[in-house]
Amino acid sequence: MSRIKLNISGLSTGQTSGSYTLILSEDHGKRKLPIVIGSFEAQAIAIEIEKIVPFRPMTHDLFLNFCKAFDIHIHEVVIYNLHEGVFHAKMICEQNGEIREIDARTSDAIALAVRFKCPIYTYKEIMDTAGVVFNDDPESEFEEEIGSTPTPPKVDPNDVTRLTLDQLNKKLEDAIRVEDYVLAARFRDEINRREK
């Protein structure tokens, strides 16, 4: 089967409460693969991409540290099946020269792929079935870039813009302390926007 390399191109809030849509783009093409994931996995992907350092290691960071301690490397993640609307993934791992395939939820596999800096692939048949081409409308719900981390609907962007820089820095510290990294990214993005 022909493989297609994928890149993470965006995260947006999903249509149901607590869900997000992860957008994977084919490396040489216009199609995108939208995958619905949970808020915890969206947060895990976003904080690694945006290089936010959590107060304590999150589950995926713990797994990374565990693998490093035992000299296990993840070489690639493959989304190998789509069954009844659910994507199935596997991680191709190596320890002491021995290659193994480990089944994983797609969201977890991708959260680990960004930590191991390994490529993500799918098969042409899956892309032909589930790949879509989004319009170029910047207001499209799926065109939110990674730089604007997914934000829970309860956070009003106007409230963030009304805060002073000192207030933003304090709220950023508070959000990191309680491990709300999605909200922390929102405060950090606003701080960065003002400091440009």
Q: Flag whether pLDDT at 150 surpasses 50.
A: no
Report whether 91 contacts 77 (CB < 8 A). Answer: yes
Report the pLDDT value the prediction gives residue 190, as an integer from 0 to 100: 81
Alpha-carbon distance 154 to 158, whole Å? 12
- Whether 41 and 121 map to the same domain: the answer is yes
- Whether 144 and 170 map to the same domain: the answer is no
Mean pLDDT of 50-79: 92
Mapping DSSP to helix (H, G, I), strand (E, B) and coil, where does residue 122 land? strand
Confidence of residue 135 (pLDDT cuts 50, 70, 90): low
Report how many domains make up the chain. Answer: 2
- Whether 137 and 156 map to the same domain: the answer is no
CATH code of the domain covering residue 73: 3.10.690.10
Report whether 42 contacts 60 (CB < 8 A). Answer: no
Alpha-carbon distance 29 to 27, whole Å? 6
Confidence of residue 8 (pLDDT cuts 50, 70, 90): very high
Q: What DSSP character marks residue 132?
A: B
- Whether 146 and 165 map to the same domain: the answer is no
Q: Which domain holds residue 178?
A: 151-196
Six-digit token string for 153 = 């609907």
